[in-house]
């Protein structure tokens, strides 16, 4: 978390659960409601190693080499994650305004989408609301709100929506 420049507030009233082994998307922490079928999963991906690799590649660049800065990957990473978690679906998604993602998460880019989770990632849930946040030179945060009922999903996520965000500059 420190490497990604993020801060995490564990959600009140939810119990920690172990991540599920799966091929779609790994996560570091998950919390489940003790009585309702609701779970939230968190993944953090620092980009310090990618930045180092990029700098090394730039320093050793040969004619014809093309290196893309890791700060330019966020949209593709978001879409790839949606495809992985949803079994190949890429529905329309909402991109947060620059002001909103900065104010709410201290990030530089963010997006959200509701998808039907597939494969082992689904864990028996019918709906997944995925929130992705990115901060240049720091990393990416992934939050997956999981439920069988859309109303329960929206109701349960509201009090914990800002539990993962980037530290202030």
| pLDDT computed for residue 169 by the predictor | 77
For 92-128, the pLDDT digits (tens) are: 999 999 999 999 999 999 999 999 999 999 999 999 9
Indicate the DSSP class of residue 18. Answer: P
Measured in whole angstroms, how far is the alpha carbon of residue 129 from the centre of its chain? 10
Q: Where are the alpha helices (DSSP H) in the chain?
A: 48-59, 74-85, 98-105, 150-157
Indicate the DSSP class of residue 31. Answer: E
| pLDDT computed for residue 108 by the predictor | 98
Indicate the DSSP class of residue 51. Answer: H
Which residues, other chains included, contact 143 with Cβ-Cβ below 8 Å and sequence gap of 6+?
Answer: 40, 41, 42, 130, 131, 132, 163, 164
Element (H, E) at 101: helix 98-105
Indicate the DSSP class of residue 24. Answer: S
Quick count: other Cβ atoms within 10 Å of Cβ 34? 8
Splitting the chain (169 residues) into consecutive groups of 10 residues, what average pLDDT does each group show? Answer: 92 95 94 97 96 94 93 96 97 97 98 97 96 98 97 96 94
| pLDDT computed for residue 1 by the predictor | 75
| pLDDT computed for residue 78 by the predictor | 98
Domain ranges within the chain, ordered by starting residue: 6-51+71-166
Quick count: other Cβ atoms within 10 Å of Cβ 64? 5
Spatial CA neighbour of 116 closest among 126, 105, 106: 126
| pLDDT computed for residue 19 by the predictor | 92
Distance from C-alpha of 131 to C-alpha of 161, rounded to nearest angstrom? 9
Angle among Cα 36, 12, 31 to the nearest 5 degrees reads 55
CATH of the domain spanning 6-51+71-166, picked from 3.30.390, 3.30.310, 3.40.50, 3.40.1000:
3.40.1000
- DSSP letters of 134-154? EETTTEEEEEEEEESSHHHHH
Query: Which pTM does this prediction carry?
Result: 0.95
Contact 45, 4 (CB under 8 A): yes
């Amino acid at each position: 978390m420190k490497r990604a420049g993020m801060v995490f507030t564990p959600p009140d009233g939810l119990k920690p659960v172990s991540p599920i082994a799966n091929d779609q998307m790994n996560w570091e922490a998950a919390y489940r409601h003790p009585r309702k079928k609701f779970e939230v999963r968190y993944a953090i991906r620092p980009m310090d190693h990618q930045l180092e690799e990029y700098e090394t590649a730039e320093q050793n660049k040969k004619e014809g080499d093309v290196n893309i800065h890791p700060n330019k990957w966020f949209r593709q990473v978001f879409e790839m994650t949606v495809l992985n978690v949803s079994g190949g679906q890429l529905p329309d998604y909402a991109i947060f305004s620059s002001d909103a993602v900065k104010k709410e998460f201290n990030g530089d880019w963010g997006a959200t989408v509701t998808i039907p989770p597939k494969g082992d990632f689904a864990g028996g849930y019918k709906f997944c609301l995925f929130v992705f946040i990115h901060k240049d030179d720091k990393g990416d945060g992934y939050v997956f709100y999981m439920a069988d009922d859309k109303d329960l999903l929206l109701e349960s996520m509201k009090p914990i929506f800002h539990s993962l965000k980037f530290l202030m500059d």
